[in-house]
């Protein structure tokens, strides 16, 4: 079947063959490789995207079930002029990427967190990022980056 999805503001259609996930369609069909494929069971968060505005693991979304939906991937968070998102900038400045594999998922989770709560405390940050695993264990610098964003944005 063909599904029609708005991805990063653009109307896209994709062929779905069976019960494959949105993640597979994003990466293999739509050639958006920013969302990473690691655990395929929702444990690691590296495939996080916004589906109709809600943060989800795209590996746990059946692609056939996305017809008519809106998806934002890490490729879609940059500014219209191509500048990177302030969350990405903050991670960069904090040196919060080691191998970088988990970074797109963290970017999406942090974007989603700050959207709902511009000034999260450390406990809020921990809870909001509990679904994202960094196998380099670089959590300290990731949390510091979010703290800086939380403190710097206008109150």
Partner 1 sequence: MDAYLAPGLDEALGFLEEWPGATPLAGGTDLMVDVNAGRVRPDRVLSLRRVPELQDWEDGRIGAGVTWRRLQDAGHSALAQAARTIGSPQIRNAGTIGGNVGTASPAGDGLAFLAAADALIELASANDGRRVPWDEFFVGVKETTRRPDELITALVVPDDIPGRQAFGKVGIRSAMVISIVVCCVLRDNDGATRVALGSVAPTPMRARDAERMISEERRPSAAALDEFARLVAEEVRPITDHRSTAGYRRHAAGVLARRLLERVL
The Cα 18–Cα 28 span in angstroms is 14
Where does this chain touch partner 1 (CB under 8 A) — which range of 25-33, 78-86, 125-133, 138-146?
125-133
Alpha-carbon torsion 25, 31, 32, 36, what sign? positive
Distances (CA, A) of 93 to 52, 62, 65, 81: 30, 36, 38, 20
| Under rule CB under 8 A, residue 124 binds partner 1 | no
State the nearest-atom distance from the C-beta of 93 to partner 1, in Å: 24
| Under rule CB under 8 A, residue 77 binds partner 1 | no
List the structure tokens of 140: 């300290």
Applying CB under 8 A, among 12, 29, 33, 64 the residue interacting with partner 1 is 64
| Under rule CB under 8 A, residue 59 binds partner 1 | yes
Where does this chain touch partner 1 (CB under 8 A) — which range of 54-62, 85-93, 96-104, 135-143?
54-62
CB closer to partner 1, 57 vs 149: 57
Applying CB under 8 A, among 45, 104, 120, 138 the residue interacting with partner 1 is 45
Cα 128 → chain centroid: 13
CB closer to partner 1, 59 vs 146: 59
| Under rule CB under 8 A, residue 136 binds partner 1 | no
CB closer to partner 1, 83 vs 122: 122
| Under rule CB under 8 A, residue 81 binds partner 1 | no
Applying CB under 8 A, among 109, 110, 111, 146 the residue interacting with partner 1 is 109
User: Residue 116 has what DSSP assignment?
Assistant: H
User: Residue 121 has what DSSP assignment?
Assistant: -
How does 55-94 read in b/e, with b if 16+ C-beta sit within 10 Å? Answer: bbbbbebebbebeebebbbbbbbeeeeeeebbbbebbeeb
Q: Are 67 and 5 in contact (CB under 8 A)?
A: yes
């Amino acid at each position: 079947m063909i599904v029609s999805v708005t991805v990063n503001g653009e109307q896209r259609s994709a062929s779905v063959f069976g019960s494959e996930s949105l993640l597979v369609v994003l990466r293999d069909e739509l050639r958006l490789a920013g969302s990473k494929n690691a655990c395929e069971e929702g444990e690691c968060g590296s495939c996080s995207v916004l589906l109709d505005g809600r943060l989800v693991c795209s590996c746990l979304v059946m692609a056939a079930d996305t017809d008519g939906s809106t998806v934002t991937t890490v490729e879609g968070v940059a500014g219209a002029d191509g500048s990177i998102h302030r969350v990405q900038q903050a991670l960069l400045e904090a040196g919060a990427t080691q191998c970088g594999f988990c970074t797109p998922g963290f970017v999406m989770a942090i974007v989603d967190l700050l959207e709902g709560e511009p000034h999260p405390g450390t406990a809020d940050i921990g809870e909001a990022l509990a679904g994202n695993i960094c196998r380099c264990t670089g959590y300290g610098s990731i949390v510091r980056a979010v703290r800086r964003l939380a403190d710097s944005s206008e109150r």
